[in-house]
Amino acid sequence: MSLELLILGSNSAAFAHRRHHTAQLFKLQDQQFLIDCGEGTQLLMKRNKVKLSRIDHIFISHLHGDHYFGLIGLLSTMHLFGRKKELILIGPPGLKEIIQLQLRHSETALNFPIDFTEFKPGETSIVLDHPKYNVTALPMDHRVPCSGYLFKEKPKKRRINRKMLPEVKLSNLDIVRLKDGEDILNEDGSVKYENKLLTMDPNPSFSYAFFSDTKLRPELQKMIEGVDMLYHEATFANDMKDRAEQTYHTTAEQAAQYAKEANVGKLILGHFSARYKELDPIINEAKAVFPNTELAIEGTKFVVDGK
C-alpha cells in the first residue's frame, strides 16, 4: 500500500508561466481525493488521464477563486457524463450556498446527490472518518476562513506469516485473532500458538498534510509531526517576507524551517506567485534549510510506499 500525490495546478492568484491554479489529486487506499479545484482543473485532469468517475471526494480549502472557480464546471461535466453515485464535498461555510445558487440560476438539476460538509473556521475537527483512515481539517491563518487537511491512515492489523501456515491448523477466527495481535489459546487457557511466531509487523500507516494559503501555524506543528509528506504554500521567496506577512502567505524558507521542525518526510512547495517565472529562488532557499524539498510542478507524481 502507498500514497500518491499528483500535482494538477500549482500557481497562486493568476495563471502565469504555464502554471495553473491550485488543484491536486491524492490517492490513498482505494480512494482518490481532489484537493482544491482552481480554474482549468478539468483540462489538467484530462491531460493527466484522471477518470472523473473515480473521484468521490472533493476538498476545498477556501473561497478565493484560484482554489474553487473550476468546481461548478467539474460538477456540470460529471452530470453530463451521467454520474449517479453520491459525491462528498467538504469545504468552507458558504460553498454549499454558492453551488446551489449557480445550479438554480442555470436551471440544472444534477443526476447525482452531493453530501456537503462544512468545516468550522478556526477549529480542528475530523471531517471524514473512514474505517481505514480519517481526514482532519486544520485551521489556516488567511484573510478568509481557510482550512488545510491532514490525511492519516489508521493503524493496520498484523500480517499473517504465510510461510508458517502449512505447519499449523488455523480457523478463520484464529486468523482474525492473530491479526488483532492475540495469541491462540488452548481450551485450558494455555498458549497454543504465540502471535509473534505466526505474524509479522503491520504495514506502515501513511499520512499527508495539505497546508493551503496561510501564514505559519506553529500551533499545528505537533499534529503533523512526522507526516510522510507535507504540501505547504510558498508564495514568495524570503526577500518578499514583508509582502507574505501582509497578504497572509508564507515564504519558502519559512515553510522549509517548519517542515524541519516538524520532522516531516518530504516537503512539497506550491502556490507560486506570478512574479516568479523561474522557480530557482523558491527551491534553492528551501533546500538550504530542508534538503528533501520538491516543487509542485504540474504533472509530477510523488509516491510514498514505505520501501
**Domain map of the chain by residue range?**
3-125+227-304, 159-200
Query: Residue 222 has what DSSP assignment?
Result: T
**What pLDDT band is residue 198 in, cutting at 50, 70 and 90?**
confident
> Looking at the predicted structure, is the pLDDT value of residue 1 above 60?
no
- What's the pLDDT tens digit per position in 72-115? 999 999 999 999 999 999 999 999 999 999 999 999 999 999 99
- What's the pLDDT tens digit per position in 243-255? 999 999 999 999 9
Binding-site sequence positions for Zn(2+): 62, 64, 66-67, 142, 213, 271
Binding-site sequence positions: 62, 64, 66-67, 142, 213, 271
**How many residues comprise the chain?**
307
- pLDDT score for 29: 85
Most confident of 68-72, 152-156, 191-195: 68-72
Q: Whole-prediction pTM value? A: 0.91
Q: 10-24, 159-173, 233-247: which has the minimum mean pLDDT?
A: 159-173
- pLDDT score for 80: 96
- HSE value, Cβ hemisphere, 13 Å, CA-based, for 194: 2
| 66 is a catalytic site residue | yes
- 82 burial via Cβ count (<10 Å: 0-12, 13-18, 19+): exposed
> Looking at the predicted structure, is the pLDDT value of residue 59 above 60?
yes
- pLDDT score for 174: 84
Distances (CA, A) of 219 to 122, 138, 224: 12, 10, 10
Query: Which residues contact residue 172 at a Cβ distance below 8 angstroms, ignoring those fewer than 6 apart?
Result: none
Given the DSSP bridges, would you call strands 114-118 and 184-185 parallel, antiparallel or unpaired? unpaired
Looking at the DSSP assignment, which residues form a beta bridge with residue 138?
148
Q: Report the CATH number of the 3-125+227-304 domain.
A: 3.60.15.10
Lookup result for grid cell 505559519:
216
Q: How far apart (Å, rounded) are the C-alpha atoms in residues 135 and 150?
A: 5
- pLDDT score for 123: 96
Supply 266's cell numbers: 518530504
Could you give the 3-state DSSP secondary structure of residue 88?
strand
> Residue range 13-18: average pLDDT?
89
Q: Cβ(184)–Cβ(237) under 8 Å?
A: no
Single out the catalytic residue among 66, 129, 239, 280.
66
Buried b (16+ CB within 10 A) or exposed e, 230-268: bbbbbbbbbebeeebeebbbbbbbbbbebbbebebebbb
Spatial CA neighbour of 214 closest among 190, 248, 237, 181: 248
Give just the sign of the alpha carbon dihedral 256, 261, 239, 242. positive
> Looking at the predicted structure, is the pLDDT value of residue 133 above 90?
yes
